[in-house]
């Protein structure tokens, strides 16, 4: 057992783990007997807050469990170990005409993490969450050993595991249905949007016409222009579109940036530049990497926030006016809210007990962690979400309260019942089960 | 596409190298001690594009069965282009200092068995005048260090053996490649605290593939270990013995 540092993507909060197990083969995966804080499966640490951390406990790092087991390039089905990253998967499947069915904004996450957080992407209005495309998965449980579950087989355990933030067992492998593509290229339509009302109108139109849609929002816009930004929509291109080779390499952020780098002034300048560059409607064909994963081009971009770390606020609310209130509060906060991403979730039902996506508007916003003012802003935003019956996303959260969690996930008791007794996490102890975590 | 034999195919470095060859559509024979783990790696390599893969269970110390493995590899691939010998275990040095059996075992696994396998394949590749035999040795073989000389001696054995084997195969068309990694973050080094000198298996795999394909006689990976070890080899004994390494 070694004890190197494991962080979440936001690097806030920090956790000190007793130990990190790093099995290389399925037969090496063991769940240690339950200690004070139990164990938690860990992938690549791409979730933001503390759902992938287990302060005072053990992590079971599955990054080395990264083998494909079977790829059926005719039917478009892949079986792989839980630590396979989307990057590795795409490198194999894209040249043979397949794509992941649903992807978040990074390809560095693992398949196990995608299931445990039931991730969503720009095509939620068409395909729903990642969990909808999981045919079956194999779990290791401390009380039952290896268990296979899927939508038909042990459906209750499956529903608990999809979106179950790693608490129902260690996901060892999964079978995923892929999406057929004719090209690695994406036909993109970009258009500036002047404000929130225009977003509502244009995004509804884009959702009808495109498989992938998302809006980048200038979170520091003046009150008269709340919700201004750029609407980005795309379709997998046909075979006739000329193809370009994959991007070569990536730049790494080599050190922790100084705290002033991301401040309201710098974010404002960046937003102004971005809006200028994307100031006109245009259609282009780009490869899938810059379309889905623009931030992956800068490895370790989380270090731009410096050692203080950052938090991401992501909510979904069914009420559009509530979203306008949230955007207004963010802009008025005076904090350096950057990277606003706005999208309307579709109607497709999410398969997990703790799945986050549900009909309504979802906003993700990055905030440098500046202590009290950040927490106060979040508390205010969380109150708006709660008041409107919305939800906060566990994969991003570092600050919700027990009440926020229960309001977001009214079925949380079902998860508490199906949880593996030897697993726990920092997030779960913070917001989850009503019984305190006893020493065994 | 190249035909490749990998002994010690479940090692982290071998797996990373094999994935590069798989993505190029190579045909492969994988050997190691654990059949299930070999099969897991074989499936991964097939899914990543290997033309065909077979696995063969063999313990490095089971010398009488080495020949059978060589036969099997030639049968499956007809004539291998590349043989990579990549097995090894890091002995518990503190224990080895007190336990003669541990010393003998460590030398046998990391030294003698690698030499025996290299010799067996080289002998079969010589008549058709074809192929490359590569062995993963280590920077540890360059000097006897107080903290790690049992492992170092085994790898030093490999270095001398390959040096002579290569000389004996001059002008035969068979090439001998000695790959010498520095510190690599693998299960072998799980107990070490990692510093800036540590590389990942994925990080050094392209350089290993490149060295094997170039037929480099000796290749330090990452490259910076070349100059570091050149300096350490040049340090006189009375100084070297005082170094805290």
Residue A394, pLDDT > 50, answer: yes
Residue B189, pLDDT > 90, answer: no
CB B91 within 8 A of CB B24: no
Residue A428, pLDDT > 50, answer: yes
CB B155 within 8 A of CB B146: no
pLDDT category at A11 given cuts 50, 70, 90 is very high
**Whole-angstrom distance, CA of residue A168 vs CA of residue A419:** 4
Structure tokens at B180: 């010498």
**Whole-angstrom distance, CA of residue A315 vs CA of residue A247:** 32
Give the pLDDT of residue A4. Answer: 63
User: Regarding predicted confidence, which is higher, A189 or A306?
Assistant: A189
Contact B48 A92 (CB under 8 A): yes
Residue B188, pLDDT > 60, answer: yes
Residues of B with a known catalytic role: 151
Structure tokens at B170: 């001059």
Residues of B in contact with A68 (CB under 8 A): 43-44, 47-48
Residue A420, pLDDT > 80, answer: yes
Give the pLDDT of residue B193. Answer: 74
pLDDT in tens, B90-127: 989 888 889 999 999 999 999 999 999 999 999 999 99
**Whole-angstrom distance, CA of residue B35 vs CA of residue B56:** 7
Give the pLDDT of residue A1. Answer: 43
Residue A7, pLDDT > 70, answer: yes
Q: Which of A267, A266, A189, A289 is nearest to A230 (CA)?
A: A189
Structure tokens at A379: 């508390």
**Whole-angstrom distance, CA of residue A119 vs CA of residue A100:** 12
In 3-state terms, what secondary structure has residue B241?
A: coil
pLDDT in tens, A277-329: 888 999 999 999 999 999 998 889 999 998 899 999 999 999 999 999 999 99
Task: Please tell me the pTM assigned to this model.
Answer: 0.94
Q: Is B187 at the interface with chain A, CB within 8 A?
A: yes
CA distance B177 to chain A (A): 27
Count CB atoms within 10 A of the CB of residue B126.
15
CA distance A2 to chain B (A): 6
Q: Is B130 at the interface with chain A, CB within 8 A?
A: no
Q: What is the per-residue burial (b if ≥16 Cβ within 10 Å, else e) of A57-96?
A: bbbbbbbbbbbbbebeeeebbbbbbbbbbbbbbbebbbee
Length of chain A: 440
Contact B40 A69 (CB under 8 A): yes
Residues of B in contact with A252 (CB under 8 A): none
CB A333 within 8 A of CB A262: no
Is B243 buried (19+), middle (13-18) or exposed (0-12) by CB count in 10 A? Answer: exposed
CB A180 within 8 A of CB A93: no
CB A183 within 8 A of CB A237: yes
Count CB atoms within 10 A of the CB of residue B149.
17
Residue B186 — φ and ψ, nearest 5°?
Answer: -135, 175
DSSP letter, residue B111: I
- The reply to whether omega before A13 is within 30° of 0 (cis) is yes
Residue recorded with tokens 């974010």? A267
Give the pLDDT of residue A249. Answer: 76
Average predicted confidence (pLDDT) for chain A? 94
Contact A2 B44 (CB under 8 A): no
Residues of A in contact with B191 (CB under 8 A): 2
Is ipTM beyond 0.90? Answer: yes
Contact B48 A26 (CB under 8 A): no
pLDDT in tens, B217-239: 999 999 999 999 999 999 999 99
CB-nearest to A70 from B41, B43, B187 is: B43
- Beta-bridge partners for A251: A298
- Beta-bridge partners for A235: A187
Give the pLDDT of residue A252. Answer: 87
Give the pLDDT of residue A439. Answer: 36
Task: Give Cβ neighbours of residue A234 (< 8 Å, ≥ 6 apart).
Answer: A122, A186, A187, A188, A189, A210, A211, A212, A213, A291
Give the pLDDT of residue B197. Answer: 86
CA distance B36 to chain A (A): 9
Q: Which B residues, 47 through 66, put their C-beta within 8 Å of a C-beta on chain A?
A: 47-49
Count CB atoms within 10 A of the CB of residue A25.
17
Q: What is the mean pLDDT of residues A262-290?
A: 92
Residues of B in contact with A4 (CB under 8 A): 194
pLDDT category at A435 given cuts 50, 70, 90 is low
Range of lowest pLDDT (A124-133, A387-396, B130-139, B178-187):
B178-187
Is B66 buried (19+), middle (13-18) or exposed (0-12) by CB count in 10 A? Answer: buried
pLDDT in tens, B16-25: 999 999 999 9
Contact B47 A71 (CB under 8 A): yes
Residue A178, pLDDT > 60, answer: yes
Q: Which B residues, 7 through 26, put their C-beta within 8 Å of a C-beta on chain A?
A: 10, 12, 23
Q: What is the mean pLDDT of residues B62-89?
A: 98
Give the pLDDT of residue A2. Answer: 44
Task: Give Cβ neighbours of residue A341 (< 8 Å, ≥ 6 apart).
Answer: A105, A214, A215, A216, A217, A363, A364, A365
pLDDT category at A436 given cuts 50, 70, 90 is low
CB A17 within 8 A of CB A54: yes
Give the pLDDT of residue B190. Answer: 75
> DSSP string of A55-118?
TTSEEEE-TT---EEEEETTTTEEEEETT-BHHHHHHHHGGGTEE-SS--S-S-SBHHHHHHTT
**Whole-angstrom distance, CA of residue B99 vs CA of residue A232:** 67
CA distance A89 to chain B (A): 9
Range of lowest pLDDT (A137-151, B114-128, B193-207):
B193-207
Give the pLDDT of residue A438. Answer: 45
Task: Give Cβ neighbours of residue A10 (< 8 Å, ≥ 6 apart).
Answer: A48, A49, A302, A309, A310, A311, A312, A369, A396, A398
Give the pLDDT of residue A5. Answer: 81
């Amino acid at each position: 057992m070694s004890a190197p540092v494991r962080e979440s993507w936001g690097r806030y909060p920090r956790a000190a783990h007793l130990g990190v197990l790093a099995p290389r083969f399925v037969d090496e995966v063991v769940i240690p007997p339950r200690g004070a804080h139990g164990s938690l499966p860990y992938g690549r640490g791409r979730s933001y807050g503390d759902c992938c951390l287990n302060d005072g406990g053990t992590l079971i790092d599955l990054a080395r469990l990264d083998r494909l087991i079977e790829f059926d390039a005719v039917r478009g089905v892949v079986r792989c170990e839980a630590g396979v990253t989307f990057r590795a998967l795409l490198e194999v499947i894209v040249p043979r005409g397949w794509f992941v069915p649903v992807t978040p904004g990074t390809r560095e996450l693992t398949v196990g993490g995608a299931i445990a957080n039931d991730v969503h992407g720009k095509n939620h209005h068409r395909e729903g969450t990642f969990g909808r495309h999981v045919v079956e998965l194999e779990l290791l449980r401390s009380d039952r050993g290896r268990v296979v579950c899927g939508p038909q087989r042990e459906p209750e355990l499956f529903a608990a595991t999809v979106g179950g933030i790693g608490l129902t067992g260690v996901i060892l492998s999964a079978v995923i249905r892929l999406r057929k593509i004719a090209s690695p290229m994406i036909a993109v339509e970009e258009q500036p949007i002047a404000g929130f009302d225009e977003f509502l109108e244009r995004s509804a139109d884009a959702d009808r016409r495109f498989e992938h849609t998302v809006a980048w929002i200038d979170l520091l816009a003046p009150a008269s222009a709340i919700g201004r930004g750029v609407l980005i929509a795309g379709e997998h291109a046909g075979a006739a579109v000329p193809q370009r080779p994959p991007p070569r390499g990536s730049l790494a952020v080599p050190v922790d940036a100084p705290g002033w780098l991301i401040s309201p002034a710098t974010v404002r300048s960046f937003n102004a530049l971005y809006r200028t560059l994307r100031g006109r409607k245009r259609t282009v064909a780009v490869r899938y990497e810059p379309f889905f994963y623009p931030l992956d081009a800068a490895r370790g971009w989380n270090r731009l926030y410096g050692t203080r770390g950052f938090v991401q606020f992501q909510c979904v609310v069914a009420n559009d006016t509530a979203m306008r209130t949230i955007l207004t509060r963010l802009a008025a906060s005076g904090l350096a809210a950057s990277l606003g991403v706005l999208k309307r979730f579709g109607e497709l039902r999410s398969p997990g007990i703790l799945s986050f996506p549900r009909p309504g508007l979802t906003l993700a916003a990055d905030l440098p962690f500046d202590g009290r003012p950040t927490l106060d802003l979040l508390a205010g935003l969380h109150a708006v979400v709660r008041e409107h019956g919305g939800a906060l996303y566990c994969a991003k959260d570092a600050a919700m309260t027990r009440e926020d969690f229960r309001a977001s996930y009214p079925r949380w008791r079902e998860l508490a019942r199906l949880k593996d007794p030897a697993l726990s996490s920092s997030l779960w102890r913070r917001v989850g089960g009503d019984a305190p975590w006893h020493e065994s | 596409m190249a035909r490749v034999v990998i002994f010690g195919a479940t090692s982290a470095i071998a797996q990373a190298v094999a994935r590069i060859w798989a993505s190029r559509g190579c045909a492969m024979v994988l050997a190691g001690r654990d059949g299930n783990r070999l099969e897991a790696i074989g499936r991964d390599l097939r899914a990543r594009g290997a033309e065909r893969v077979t696995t063969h269970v063999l313990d490095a110390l089971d010398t009488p069965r080495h020949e059978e493995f060589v036969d099997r590899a030639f049968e499956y691939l007809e004539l291998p282009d590349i043989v990579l010998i990549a097995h090894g275990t890091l002995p518990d040095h503190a224990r080895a200092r007190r336990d003669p059996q541990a010393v003998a075992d460590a030398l046998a696994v990391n030294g003698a068995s690698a030499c025996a396998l290299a010799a067996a394949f080289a002998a079969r590749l010589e008549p058709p005048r074809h192929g490359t035999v590569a062995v993963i040795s280590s920077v540890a073989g360059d000097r006897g260090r107080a903290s790690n000389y049992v492992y170092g001696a085994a790898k030093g054995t490999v270095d001398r053996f390959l040096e002579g084997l290569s000389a004996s195969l001059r002008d035969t068309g068979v090439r001998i490649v000695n790959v010498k990694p520095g510190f690599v973050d693998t299960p072998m080094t799980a107990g070490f605290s990692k510093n800036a000198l540590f590389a990942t298996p994925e990080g050094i795999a392209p350089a290993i593939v490149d060295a094997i394909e170039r037929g480099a006689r000796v290749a330090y990976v990452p490259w910076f270990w070349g100059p570091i070890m050149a300096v350490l080899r040049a340090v006189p004994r009375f100084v070297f013995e005082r170094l805290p390494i």
